[in-house]
Amino acid sequence: MPSETMSARRLNRAAETVPPHAWFGVSAVFHYLGPSFAVLLFPAVGVLGVAWFRIASAAMIFAPITKPWRTLREADGRTRLLLAGLGLCLAVMNTSFYLALDRLPMSLVAAMEFVGTIGVALYGLRTGRNVLALALTVVGVFVLIDVKWATDPWGLFWSALNAALFAGYILLGHRAAASGANQGVERLGAAMAIAFVIVMPIGIVEAAKAFGAIELVLAGIGVGLCSSVIPYVCDQLAMSRLPRASFALLLALLPATATVIAAMVLAQIPTVQDLLGIVLVMVGIALHRPADI
């Protein structure tokens, strides 16, 4: 039996055996580990350089596993269009995310990012119960992150662009996973290769500053692994089984996850307001019932 077939079966079995919410949980944890590494690299490498490292290292890790050249060669015209769209989305989304973080607090960027997913969640609502679930979740997120708006127009522009593209990532990523987890990951690898081609001329000059320091190069690879490889693969495993509206609603867990991680790792004990926000989010998620869409 070819090794590719064995790998495909193992990946699909993992998606089918492990609950999709567990895969999302892993993605949520690494969703915040990656940016923490990235922000530390901004002074040494530059914002665009960090974006380059994130996409370049992810593409490098995916390439021998997913063989993007084979995926692109065997894809039909419609699939190639999907891969190109997802690749462009990943390149611009990741770059705008870091440009926003360089100017705005992460809580504000996270708030705008979640707002971008509300429309996706609304699309899948079928019952009054799910409307209530969404309302509780939205209120909980805004209580939790305690948004304070900024007056930096460029920061708000990059944050809004990131939020819009994050919603696009959900739609395109869910379509990539429609034929199963294995094919979704293979398409993700091809899209990441396309993203690398797009971001190459944009961030290579700043990234080159780190080439002489092995610790910076390793840190850049760590950003790609934690921010793009592990969470995006876990997203594909979850998306292969969850309706996209349900996946969009689960994204409300990200601020709550960040609060828990901060309490455990950084000893930042949550306030009563934080706990209230977490409870509202958890109740909203518990009330929601997926619809087949």
Q: Which residue, among 100, 119, 84, 87, has the nearest Cα to 251 in the 3D structure?
A: 119
pLDDT at site 118: 67
- The answer to whether the predicted template modeling score (pTM) of the entire model surpasses 0.85 is no
Q: Is 290 exposed, middle or buried (0-12, 13-18, 19+ CB in 10 A)?
A: middle
Q: Which of 249, 246, 218, 168 is nearest to 44 (CA)?
A: 218
Quick check: 16 and 32 in contact, CB under 8 A?
A: no
The reported pLDDT for the residue numbered 191 is 95
Mean pLDDT by 10 residues, the chain (293 residues): 53 74 81 71 86 93 92 92 95 92 74 68 64 72 62 84 89 84 88 95 88 87 88 86 70 65 57 70 62 48
| Residue 58 pLDDT | 93
Please report the pLDDT score of residue 292 as a whole number: 47
Give the number of residues written for the chain. Answer: 293
User: Which two tokens mark 35?
Assistant: 């940016």
The whole-number pLDDT of residue 43 equals: 83
Q: Which residues contact 209 (CB under 8 A, 6 or more apart)?
A: 44, 45, 46, 49
Write down the pLDDT at residue 82.
95
DSSP state for residue 242 in the 8-state scheme: S
Distance, CA of 281 to CA of 254 (rounded, Å): 10
Cβ(167)–Cβ(120) under 8 Å? yes
Say which residue the tokens 């739609």 belong to.
Answer: 171
The residues near 184 (Cβ < 8 Å, ≥ 6 apart) are: 173, 176, 177, 178, 236, 237, 239, 240
Q: For the chain, where are the E strands, in sequence order?
A: none
pLDDT of residue 132: 75
Cα torsion 59, 64, 67, 69: sign: positive
pLDDT tens digit string along 30-69?
876 777 677 778 888 888 999 999 999 999 999 998 899 9
